[in-house]
Chains A and B, each alone.
Chain A
Amino acid sequence: MLRRKTAAIGLGGIGLLIFVAVAAPWIAPYEPAAQDLSNVLAPPAWDGGDWSYPLGTDALGRDVLSRMIYGARSSVLISACAMLIGATLGLLTGLVAGFFGRFVDTLIMRLGDIQLALPFILIAIVILGMMTERSPVHLIVVLGIPAWIVYARVVRARTLAEREQDYVRAAETIGARPLRRIFRYVLPQVRSVLPAIALIDLSHLVVMESTLSFLGFGLTSPHVSWGQILADGRQNMVVAPWLPVLPGIAIMLTVLCINLAVEGMRSRVEPRRRWWSTRWRRSGATRTTLDMATAASRPAVDELQAGPTPDDVLLDVRGLCVDFPTADGRVVQAVRGVSFTVGRGKILGIVGESGSGKSVTSYALLRLLSAPGRVSAGTAMFDGIDLLGVPERSMRRVRGRRIGMIFQNPVGSLNPVLTVGYQIVEAIRTNRDVDRDAAVELAEKVFRDVGFGDPPHIMKQYPFRLSGGQNQRVMIAMTMAIEPELLLADEPTTALDVTTQAQVLDQLRRVRDEHGTSIVIISHDIGLIGEIADEVVVMYAGEVCESGPTEQVLREPRHPYTQALLESVPRPEAGVTTELRSIPGELPDPTRESGGCPFALRCSSVMDLCHTHRPKPLTVGPAWSAACHLYSEDKAEVTQR
Chain B
Amino acid sequence: MLLYTIRRTAQMLVVVLCVVTLVFLLLRIAAGDPARLMNAPDAPDDVIEATRERLGLDEPIYIQYLYFLRDLLGGDLGQSFQGSYSVAQVVFAALPNTAMLAAVTVLVSTVIALALGIGAALTRGSWLDRSVQVYVAFAQSIPSFWLAVVLVLVFAVQLGWLPAVDFTGPSSFVLPVATMAVALTPILIRTIRQSFIETLQQDYIRAARARGIAQRKILLVHTLKVASLPLVTLIGLQSGMILAGSYVVENIFNWPGIGKLAVDALTSRNFPMVQGAVLIAAVTFVLVNFVVDMLYTTLDPRIRLKGAS
Which A residues fall within an 8 A CB radius of B? 114, 117-123, 125-131, 203, 207, 210-211, 214-217, 227, 230, 234, 237-238, 241, 244-245, 247-248, 251-253, 255-256, 259-260, 263, 270-276, 363, 366, 368, 370, 396-401, 404-405, 407, 409, 412-418, 423, 426-427, 430-431, 462, 464-465, 475, 478, 482
| Cα of A330 to Cα of B196 in the assembled complex, Å | 28
> CB distance A119 to B282 under 8 Å?
yes
| Cα of A432 to Cα of B146 in the assembled complex, Å | 58
- A466 smallest CB distance to B (angstroms): 11
Interfacial chain B residues near A119, Cβ < 8 Å: 239-240, 243-244, 281-282, 285
B94 is an interface residue with CB less than 8 A from chain A: no
**Contacts A122-B282, A215-B251, A260-B137 hold; do A368 and B210 have CB atoms under 8 A apart?**
yes
| Cα of A400 to Cα of B149 in the assembled complex, Å | 57
Of A130, A256, A259, A464, the residue contacting B302 (CB under 8 A) is A464
| Cα of A251 to Cα of B150 in the assembled complex, Å | 14
Of B140, B222, B286, the residue contacting A117 (CB under 8 A) is B286
Interfacial chain B residues near A478, Cβ < 8 Å: 211
**Contacts A118-B22, A230-B145 hold; do A272 and B125 have CB atoms under 8 A apart?**
yes
> CB distance A256 to B211 under 8 Å?
no
| Cα of A414 to Cα of B201 in the assembled complex, Å | 13
- B190 smallest CB distance to A (angstroms): 11
Identify which of B49-57, B80-88, B99-107, B261-269 touches chain A.
B261-269
- A174 smallest CB distance to B (angstroms): 42
> CB distance A123 to B278 under 8 Å?
yes
Interfacial chain A residues near B267, Cβ < 8 Å: 129, 216
Give A208's nearest chain B residue, CB to CB.
Answer: B244
Identify which of B12-20, B67-75, B170-178 touches chain A.
B12-20
B44 is an interface residue with CB less than 8 A from chain A: no
- What 0/1 pattern do residues 296 to 309 of B give for CB contact below 8 A with A? 00001110010001
Of A251, A270, A430, the residue contacting B212 (CB under 8 A) is A430
> CB distance B122 to A275 under 8 Å?
yes
Q: Report the interface size class on chain B.
A: 35 or more
Interfacial chain A residues near B123, Cβ < 8 Å: 274
B200 is an interface residue with CB less than 8 A from chain A: yes
Interfacial chain A residues near B145, Cβ < 8 Å: 210-211, 214-215, 227, 230
- What 0/1 pattern do residues 208 to 243 of B give for CB contact below 8 A with A? 111111110100011001100100000000011101
B255 is an interface residue with CB less than 8 A from chain A: no
How many residue pairs link A and B with beta carbons under 8 A? The number is 233
B138 is an interface residue with CB less than 8 A from chain A: yes
> CB distance A370 to B201 under 8 Å?
yes
| Cα of A465 to Cα of B281 in the assembled complex, Å | 41
| Cα of A601 to Cα of B125 in the assembled complex, Å | 41
> CB distance A273 to B125 under 8 Å?
yes
B202 is an interface residue with CB less than 8 A from chain A: yes
**Contacts A210-B143, A414-B204 hold; do A465 and B305 have CB atoms under 8 A apart?**
yes
Interfacial chain B residues near A409, Cβ < 8 Å: 203
B10 is an interface residue with CB less than 8 A from chain A: no
> CB distance A259 to B137 under 8 Å?
yes
Give B274's nearest chain A residue, CB to CB.
Answer: A126
**Contacts A230-B149, A245-B150, A396-B214 hold; do A126 and B207 have CB atoms under 8 A apart?**
no
Of A210, A252, A397, the residue contacting B141 (CB under 8 A) is A252
Interfacial chain A residues near B212, Cβ < 8 Å: 396-401, 427, 430-431
In this complex, the member of B137, B286, B301 whose beta carbon has the largest number of chain A beta carbons within 10 angstroms is B301
> CB distance B282 to A417 under 8 Å?
no
Interfacial chain A residues near B47, Cβ < 8 Å: none
22 contacts between A and B (CB under 8 A): A117-B286, A117-B289, A121-B243, A122-B243, A122-B247, A123-B278, A126-B27, A126-B266, A215-B251, A216-B267, A230-B146, A244-B149, A252-B143, A256-B141, A259-B141, A272-B124, A366-B210, A396-B215, A399-B211, A427-B211, A430-B211, A430-B214
> CB distance A244 to B150 under 8 Å?
yes
Give A272's nearest chain B residue, CB to CB.
Answer: B125
Q: Which 10 A-B pairs have the closest CB atoms?
A: A400-B212, A272-B125, A248-B146, A129-B266, A413-B207, A412-B203, A255-B141, A256-B141, A130-B30, A405-B210
Which B residues fall within an 8 A CB radius of A? 14-15, 18-19, 22-23, 26-27, 30-31, 121-126, 137-138, 140-147, 149-150, 152-153, 157, 200-204, 206-215, 217, 221-222, 225-226, 229, 239-241, 243-244, 247-248, 251, 262-263, 266-267, 269, 271, 274, 278, 281-282, 285-286, 289, 300-302, 305, 309
> CB distance A121 to B240 under 8 Å?
yes
Of A114, A131, A274, the residue contacting B124 (CB under 8 A) is A274
Interfacial chain A residues near B221, Cβ < 8 Å: 418
| Cα of A129 to Cα of B263 in the assembled complex, Å | 8
Using A117-B15, A211-B244, A414-B204 as known contacts, list a sample of 18 further A-B pairs with CB atoms less than 8 Å apart, ordered by residue number in A: A114-B14, A118-B22, A123-B23, A123-B278, A125-B247, A127-B27, A203-B141, A217-B266, A252-B141, A272-B124, A275-B124, A368-B210, A405-B207, A407-B206, A413-B206, A418-B222, A426-B217, A430-B213
Give B16's nearest chain A residue, CB to CB.
Answer: A117
> CB distance A400 to B213 under 8 Å?
yes
In this complex, the member of B140, B210, B229, B244 whose beta carbon has the largest number of chain A beta carbons within 10 angstroms is B210
Interfacial chain A residues near B262, Cβ < 8 Å: 122, 125-126
> CB distance A125 to B27 under 8 Å?
no
Give A401's nearest chain B residue, CB to CB.
Answer: B212
Interfacial chain B residues near A252, Cβ < 8 Å: 138, 141-143, 146
| Cα of A320 to Cα of B138 in the assembled complex, Å | 47
> CB distance B215 to A276 under 8 Å?
yes
Interfacial chain A residues near B289, Cβ < 8 Å: 117
> CB distance B146 to A427 under 8 Å?
no
- B207 smallest CB distance to A (angstroms): 4
| Cα of A397 to Cα of B211 in the assembled complex, Å | 9
Interfacial chain A residues near B214, Cβ < 8 Å: 396, 430
Give B32's nearest chain A residue, CB to CB.
Answer: A130
Give B19's nearest chain A residue, CB to CB.
Answer: A118
